[in-house]
Structure 1
């Protein structure tokens, strides 16, 4: 099978330009005119590509790589074979990411599927919708009555913008995204299959069984939020569900009704956040974390992957485990249990099982 790239290469960058862009220092003997037009992993990068090294576990790949330029941290310079063109960066991953953005700007946000501009004649746009000039609405998208969409936004095929919804400027609404009862800021990216604004999970026991609790709030998504494929965000019940500015949400995340997420948070895949939870600014949540309802997570807190949070977390704390607890406590308890298991003794009576 022939190798196909979906992102065209441009003129590229030379080592001097990368140094200016990232603050990385030119390595000894590295020609500032050494140019790259692409990026790649150590074991596959070619002479026209930039790669990076940030872990000794890949030392074998470093010794055999064909990469034209290598970004490397000062602490790993002793592992670099002599004569390899390189740049020295304090934060290797951040520098590599900056080069990637410069080389492939078209990969930053989803592009139009059809490549056409304007409103497709095969889209269903209500005459009462307010569509600014410069909006692209592709075939089979549906825009409801009273919806508003700002200039520079692309609505992909099969997406549904419900009645009264607002989508800001320069947004990307991916294929089969569904928006209802939602207000979006500028530069919001919703990847394929995202569902926003459906009613949350609310039932009350009644004489005839479970009875529906109405959900009459909204979803507010602020500027520069990105939400991964097939994630779901429920509208509020009696207050709004809010996703704060700059927050990045991975694929397959569930956010319940009335949840408030702060600014610049990171929420990794398969996280479930129950209703009426408050997440502070700058919080980082690892994959497959579950968070109980009515819990508050303080600013800057970090939660390890596959943890279950049942109580409030203080600001800037680091927790993990099931149930989640302070990181040092969790690690200490885990080590204790491992040692007990190795000894084959019961913690209750000290005897072999």
Structure 2
């Protein structure tokens, strides 16, 4: 039978240990010595499993869970079913993340699950590249001249690290990723199929044809960034493209040349940022949001999914729609359109019900 997990579990802790990991409080100290064998979702958990409740939408599933224990917010603790111990904590989802990191440490950084070490003989590392002790290079990977890679970093199969690229310590570079003209910090996770440092889309357009503009900048990726599969980040044209520390970039995101992504910003799948725009610290772009070029999205601003942003967004504001506008204005317009459509439909129905479609209607009697 196939194992339930691809990743090895490090331990089977007691609830007292779990509570200490995430600063939770056990509702009943008598449960302190109970052992957690695994983690599971509310509806799939069984005896021995730890689960969590963070969204009120799943309260009914919590009331019927078979889990041995659950991480819950204080307001939901009394809803636990009989036999389910509760660990009360202010942010249950974040607490669960701490627990899962402890139980499955190899799942946190791709490429480290099966204890592979060293440089594969099926890879190619240029003689002038510098790799610190503890770097893992998988089969097929190519590391170019003058590249530097820090200790504990994993280079996935068939990844290509270009000349002069520098990658910090304890990172992960996914399979088939290509990186050139880039400086990458510590603990950066880059998932498979990412392309970093290729030309930006730079052309001097004209009636005589489009002249290519050399892209001579770099890509700077700071510490603790995570980049999802299939992302493309262009190098700068005449300055650097920058991704700030702690930023989280979902799968299939496009970041154009000269863009600056602020610290701890979040870019959700299929969003795109055009050249020379700035995404502020802790800002968030919803899925498929598009940012036009040379704009500034303020710190903490939120852009709704599928929004088309054509102007700057002030810090802390929420915008949506295409073209994007403040979210309340967008919702008012949607409500008005819905109301007008309903009135139009009602008017049409009244007109149809008041019109007699019989062939002889209005005709002369014989």
Instruction: Give TM-score scaled by structure 2 length.
Output: 0.89
- Contact kept in structure 2, 1:261 and 1:278, CA below 8 Å: yes
1:22-101 to 2 correspondences below 5 Å: 22-28=22-28, 31-101=31-101
Question: CA–CA distance in 2 between the matches of 1:30 and 1:72?
Answer: 18
Moved more, 227-236 or 138-147: 138-147
Question: CA–CA distance in 1 between the matches of 2:329 and 2:272?
Answer: 24
Moved more, 61-70 or 276-285: 61-70
2:313 partner SS: coil
Q: Which runs of 5+ in 1 are unaligned?
A: none
Moved more, 274-283 or 117-126: 117-126
Q: Which runs of 5+ in 2 are unaligned?
A: 353-366
Equivalent residue number for residue 357 of structure 2: none
Deviation of 1:82 (Å): 4.1
1:330 partner SS: helix
Is 1:221 the counterpart of 2:221? The answer is yes
- Contact kept in structure 2, 1:123 and 1:139, CA below 8 Å: yes
Equivalent residue number for residue 241 of structure 1: 241
Question: CA–CA distance in 2 between the matches of 1:185 and 1:36?
Answer: 36
Question: CA–CA distance in 2 between the matches of 1:52 and 1:341?
Answer: 43
Change (3 A) 1:286 1:16: same
1:325-340 to 2 correspondences below 5 Å: 325-340=325-340
1:291-310 to 2 correspondences below 5 Å: 291-310=291-310
Question: CA–CA distance in 1 between the matches of 2:21 and 2:301?
Answer: 31
RMSD over aligned Cα, in angstroms? 2.3
Deviation of 1:30 (Å): 5.8
1:285-324 to 2 correspondences below 5 Å: 285-324=285-324
Equivalent residue number for residue 11 of structure 2: 11
Deviation of 1:245 (Å): 0.9
Residues 208-247 of structure 1: per-residue CA shift (max 9 Å, x gap): 4222222111111111111011100000111110011111
Equivalent residue number for residue 125 of structure 1: 125
Deviation of 1:68 (Å): 0.9
Question: CA–CA distance in 2 between the matches of 1:338 and 1:73?
Answer: 38
Question: CA–CA distance in 2 between the matches of 1:34 and 1:181?
Answer: 52
Is 1:196 the counterpart of 2:196? The answer is yes
Change (3 A) 1:344 1:92: farther
1:35 partner SS: coil
Deviation of 1:184 (Å): 0.8
Change (3 A) 1:352 1:242: farther
State the aligned residue count.
350
Equivalent residue number for residue 169 of structure 2: 169
Instruction: Give TM-score scaled by structure 1 length.
Output: 0.92
Deviation of 1:292 (Å): 0.4
Question: CA–CA distance in 1 between the matches of 2:28 and 2:332?
Answer: 44
- Contact kept in structure 2, 1:30 and 1:85, CA below 8 Å: no
2:210 partner SS: strand
Say which one has the larger Rg. Answer: 2
- Contact kept in structure 2, 1:276 and 1:295, CA below 8 Å: yes
Deviation of 1:78 (Å): 4.8
